[in-house]
Amino acid sequence: MPLSSRCLWLLLSCMLVSLFGCSSSKVTITGKILKAGKPLVVSKNTYVTL
């Protein structure tokens, strides 16, 4: 594959990743987080990052 073609594919790939990989939307996930077999207790105003 010629160098200019590789550069084009790299540029397009980077553009797609930047468009779809960096969204500002929030996702809400429900479930249980366990610590030592017991539910982890946090307030409703606390954000938990995994």
Average of per-residue pLDDT across 18-44 = 77
How far from each other are the two terminal CA atoms of the chain, in whole angstroms?
A: 41
Environment class of residue 12 by beta-carbon count within 10 Å: exposed (0-12), middle (13-18) or buried (19+)? exposed
What pLDDT score was predicted for residue 2?
A: 63
What pLDDT score was predicted for residue 6?
A: 84
Average of per-residue pLDDT across 26-45 = 82
Model pTM score: 0.36
Confidence band (pLDDT; 50, 70, 90) for 27? confident
What pLDDT score was predicted for residue 35?
A: 84
